[in-house]
Amino acid sequence: MLTSLTLMDVQNLENGALAAVAGADSADEIERVRVEYLGRKSELKLALRDVRDRESGMALNTLRERLETAIDGREQELRRAELDRQLTQDVLDVTLPGEERRLGSLHPTTLTRRIVEDAFLGLGYEVIDDREVETVHYNFDQLAFPPAHPSRSHRDTFFIDPVRLLRTETSPSQIHVMEGKKPPIYMVSLGRVYRRDAPDATHFPIFHQFEGLAVDRDIKLADLKGTLRHVMRALFGDERQVRFRTHYFPFTEPSIEPDVSCPICDMRGCRMCKYTGWIELGGAGMVNPQVFVNVGIDPEEWTGFAFGCGIERAAQLRHGISEIRPFWENDLRVLRQF
């Protein structure tokens, strides 16, 4: 004998529940039906709690099982339908263009530096990296700068204290290398140097240089010129003309300066070349015998040449860039072009 629900009620409950199950057309809806008919406060659960006899218990439990089966079945049907819908409607279009991934690129100063390194490695030179904080001894004295040379002043050079400074050129590397090993020597040293120069189209207070030194028996000025032409061909191909002017440096004798034809105006004259058609790339010369004596190399037995050139300057000439400033501003719109 049923207590709170009559057999008729059970039948009605089942009919109502099955109709609700059949009518549910979404996961939310079927969940709502489950709560309504099988939840803790559902008519069926309350009746089961009040059951006093076996017959009623069996009838209500059978109803519960039938409803659970019906609800689970409908839920699975709905899940399958949703999956089918996704598979047919949310199609992945493999022909759509992919998302572009931006790769970083090398800085133009680094690219130019690597060209120089490769050119000298190919000639059998040793490539070195040297200190940026130098002493007056290595930056000036050992390179035979006279005591009153303007570069020794605070107006030209960044001093840290009376004996230490930010190197003004890569030439002290020559001294370190010659003090450290016996000739023959073939080395190139690349890195940052610092000067109190007023910025303009081709000058900045911080810039890079590459320094070369060759010490051997019977080295001549023609070897220096040939070596400079070799690296300039690596940097500029046959695009640019090259000329050598005589000049003065305390640590070379004779001294020359290589100039490169202006890539901006093609030698017609512009602001970058100061209307001369030529741009100075560096300084060079035959090693001053006094420098050999300073480092304990016999100038009667050994001769040598040295050169030092601006790396940003070389990059400006290579890519036709009329200003040095962008090399230090690191504007991504500029750097992405390399």
Our finding on whether 313 is near ligand FA5 (CB under 6 A) is yes
Our finding on whether 303 is near ligand FA5 (CB under 6 A) is no
Nearer to ligand FA5, 134 or 169 (CB): 169
Minimum distance of ligand FA5 from residue 96's CB (angstroms): 48
Our finding on whether 117 is near ligand FA5 (CB under 6 A) is no
CA 302/CA 270 separation, integer angstroms? 43
Site string for ligand FA5, 188-207 (x = CB under 6 A): -------x-x-----xx--x
Our finding on whether 169 is near ligand FA5 (CB under 6 A) is yes
Our finding on whether 172 is near ligand FA5 (CB under 6 A) is no
For ligand FA5 (CB under 6 A), the number of binding residues is: 26
Nearer to ligand FA5, 33 or 191 (CB): 191
Our finding on whether 252 is near ligand FA5 (CB under 6 A) is yes
Nearer to ligand FA5, 27 or 133 (CB): 133
Helical (H) or strand (E) element with 157: none
Our finding on whether 186 is near ligand FA5 (CB under 6 A) is no
Our finding on whether 306 is near ligand FA5 (CB under 6 A) is yes
Our finding on whether 308 is near ligand FA5 (CB under 6 A) is yes
Out of 272, 284, 297, 321, the only residue in the binding site for ligand FA5 (CB under 6 A) is 284
Our finding on whether 108 is near ligand FA5 (CB under 6 A) is no
Out of 42, 142, 209, 316, the only residue in the binding site for ligand FA5 (CB under 6 A) is 209
| Interface ranges with ligand FA5 (CB under 6 A) | 169, 171, 195, 197, 203-204, 207, 209, 211, 249, 252, 255, 280-285, 306-310, 312-313, 324
